[in-house]
Every structure is written in structure tokens, then in C-alpha cells.
Amino acid sequence: MRGINMCMRSSSIKKGELPRNITKSLVDTLQKEGYLVKQNFEYPNKISSNFDVKYPSYTLDIFAVKRNDIMVIKYENCSDVLSNKHKKLWKALSSKPGVNFHILVPSYCSEKAQLKSRMLNVPVKILCLNDWKDSFESSLRNSK
């Protein structure tokens, strides 16, 4: 699924922070679906032999594996979305077979994230922090 924008226009999330309640809810949802979930996953780190990305300076907020299905969730603020360093990460993760790549952004960054997805031609699902749940659960159903 390429760059679907499911963001509303308001958000009270502070820049640079992924709230614990969202992290916990994402982890709980993935675990209920049978995924092995790792939080703050850094490379190099072994969780799956078919996932080989060598960017040791990146930390993924959530990395989940179920058989050959890999779910990667990364929170980015507006400066991250515009960063060239993160452009490499988006391309690397989106090029891996079986990877469902999700970016969580504050709502005021959603248009920038959508534009970046289109410019890079990468299949990434853009989720807003204030209304991520329905679109994420729909994505999980579609990945089965």
C-alpha cells in the first residue's frame, strides 16, 4: 500500500516523543495477532534471518515478525521526515520483501510524509498519532 494518508489535522503530541500508551497499544495489537514484537530495535540485531538491513545508527520503535510477515513501525517528527538520513532508511525498509512499513507522524507532518513517500516511490503507510488505530488494524487485516 503506497502512502495512504489517514491523518486528522489536530494533535497534542509533543515533538520527538512516541507516547507510551500508543506504543503499548501497538505492541498489544501485534502480539494478539501472533507477532513476535521487539521495541526500540537496533541494528545489527537478530530477530529474523530473512531481514538484513545494515544501518546500525537506526532504532526502530517497533519491529514485529510473524512467519514471513515483518511489521516495522517508526515514529518520525517533521525534521525526521525531511532528513536525508531517514530517506535511506525508508528506501532500505521498503525494498525488503514481506515488510509492512509504517511511519507514525504528528498530523502536521502528514502531508510532508506523503510527499516524501511519493517522491521516493516507496510503499509506506503513513499513520497519524492522534488517529492511527483504525487504519493500522485495517492494514493488519490486509496483510494476512
Q: What is the pLDDT of residues 56-78, one digit of tens each?
A: 566 788 888 888 788 888 888 88
- Which pLDDT score is estimated for 12? 43
Taking a C-beta distance cutoff of 8 angstroms, is the pair 92, 53 a contact? Answer: yes
Structural domains of the chain ordered from first start? 20-143 (3.40.1350)
Residue 28: left if φ>0, alpha if ψ -120 to 50, beta else—which one? alpha
- Rounded to whole angstroms, how far apart are CA atoms 37 and 18? 17
Residue 131 pLDDT exceeds 50: yes
Question: What global pTM score does this model have?
Answer: 0.75
Beta strands in 10-86 (DSSP E): 36-42, 59-66, 69-75
Q: Is the peptide bond before 44 cis (omega within 30 degrees of 0)?
A: yes
